[in-house]
Amino acid sequence: MDRWGASLYGDPCRECDYRWSIHEEDALLLISELPGAFWELLSEATGSERHPDLTWSVGAYVCHVADNLRIWSERVAGAREGAGPAIGPYDESLLGVARN
């Protein structure tokens, strides 16, 4: 696994406590449990709530998680179809604006 995320954001991530060193099986379990966990935590949320120490709202953070899952699935599919091994960087804030 490439360690660029850990070197850029910390391990665990300074913003969300995500651990880049997560094992593959644990990552798959985490992803499969996301819809239920988000529903349980956010069913009463409007999406505009914001933690005073963080930049993004609840809605922006949920979209960020979805964007990450989407972009990495696109990259895995591209690699499977023969794209080169290089992974280009992206700005998550600009991606959020582009995907609204």
pLDDT in tens, 4-38: 788 888 999 887 788 888 998 999 999 999 999 99
Digit-coded pLDDT (tens) for 41-77: 999 999 999 989 888 899 988 988 888 888 888 888 8
In this prediction, residue 67 carries a pLDDT of 86
**DSSP characters over 6-31:** HHHHTTTTTTT---TT--HHHHHHHH
- Cβ neighbours for 65, distance < 8 A, ≥ 6 positions apart: 34
In this prediction, residue 5 carries a pLDDT of 81
pTM of the model: 0.72
Q: Which of 13, 7, 24 is nearest to 65 (CA)?
A: 13
For residues 74 and 62, is the Cβ–Cβ distance under 8 A?
no
Residue type, 90: Y
Give the integer Cα–Cα distance in Å for 26 and 97.
30
pLDDT bucket at 2, cuts 50 / 70 / 90:
low
User: Does the bond joining 12 to the residue before it have cis omega, within 30 degrees of 0?
Assistant: yes
In this prediction, residue 33 carries a pLDDT of 95
In this prediction, residue 20 carries a pLDDT of 87
